Amino acid sequence: MSDGAARTAPPEKAVVVVTGGSAGIGRASALAFAEAGMRVVIAARSEERGAGTEREILDRGGEATFVRCDVTSPDEVQELFARTVERYGRVDCAFNNAGIPGDGRLVDLTPEDFDRTIAVNARGLWLCMREELRIMSAQGGGSIVNNTSVHGVRTVFPGIGAYVASKHAAVALTRTAAMEHAHEGVRVNALAPGPIESDMLAASEAAVGGATTWRGLIPSGEIGTPRQVADVALWLFSASSSYVNGQVIGVDGGFLAT
């Protein structure tokens, strides 16, 4: 491997935790991280799909462990990271990807609707970051990547206010953590994907027009793939991004530039 290739790859045998790792961007990222030589801990609520991702990585010769975890539960989040440290001794990287949609006009949402979206996309993110930051600070460094959305940078559509609010909160948490822990060797960045091939994009067809509407907004006219998101996360885990901290990077075909 050339020096350039080494810099663009994550540390050899680095331990990475992927939340929401059983489907969509999370699953594709877990597979990509394992392919790059990382030891992957897959966290998800679905035991069937999470175990399936674990098996796929193992069948390909990678190293993976599935831990069932609901990121809204402080106890389950603590257990996830306790089991990771028990098995591997450290957490080098984390991809906080777990998230849910939050459809509905603000005046039509129930408190339960709003609270559920915030609980997963913002509070759940903070619960995971809290454990990651504690571990990484103590071990002398690490890299955290939070999967947010272009909706966390710009309010794109009406009718998804809870989701937009949760993603703005995720961006704020990213930047705050980056400031608070930079001196400890911990970098915290965020991805802001645009439309990505996924169940969530398909489900948005009724509310906002899904892929058809997005193609008219993206300069390239193309819908992204989960692997394209994973590749940017891999770069943020590598030495090539060592001076990148507190940033929100669009993975959006140029949408945020318009």
Q: Which residues are catalytic?
A: 163
Sign of CA dihedral 154, 166, 211, 31: positive
Which candidate, 44, 42, 34, places its Cα nearest to that of 14? 34
